[in-house]
Structure 1
């Protein structure tokens, strides 16, 4: 089949997110200027540069109590910082709890029973049990086409790695099986890894 997005796909559910998959999940923790905490997963998330290390996440909807966006972006606007926590398969259920459309005063760490730890470089909490957490300083917030589409870019200024995820000097994803987002209500986890050598590499 072929369809023009502006004309609609004619299917029971939009296939776009299922086509662009699997997508890593950025479990973004933020703290507002008033000290309130937020934790929410974003599957429009990825690394975008290596030196210096930079990441992005994008928000595509809004809440009535946050104007043109949601809690995460609103907090980043106020403080200029955020932390991206990597989601292991073992924490899939509590991650899902934090995806709810909760009012701004709800602390998702408390609601889901997630232990928090303080970041080292930025004023923000992180998920204590996450395999890795990336402390970030916001560099840009870009308004994308569409009503509530906002892209947040940040430079990674601090990296936490859980000791049991380091094997022979490598960050071993099989130790925690990262969760990935597919389309619809579907997820995947990494349970197998293989290597390829690019042409020209030794």
Structure 2
């Protein structure tokens, strides 16, 4: 074997590799490598999708509170009404957490229960008085990746029903004064439908 015929490396180029492209290597050329494609997927994942549940019971002296029981789309649909009705409870809870110096999850359970009960009452009231409009809006959000600007027409009907029946109004915190709020503009810039939505 002449010097020209001797391989310059232990790794041989795959026959299908391009002259100008990066070299391709076969798995058989890496018998002991940890980076082999057939070995990479065989290891246990470091972070998998298993549900982590803390089974430690709450202390007996802490009363339990029923969870709201709503998924993200109904909660997003009702969020501004929850904020309108439960502002005082939310502010108390956030102040408690701020004053607790890192122990807010335990020290502010009483305030947290008030927030949960208030939010659950808003969901219950909306389901009682505006179920049709509420369902239409959160289903629209569910089908449009929770983009509020794609669902302004059902949102307008829900806002009207909730205001008429419950007296709750959607207001966006920090919205510029003297301008029409984004949810009341007839044309939504990023909506799939280019014309007026209502």
TM-based fold match above 0.5 = no
Task: Point out the structure with the larger strand share.
Answer: 1
**Greater Rg, structure 1 or structure 2?**
2
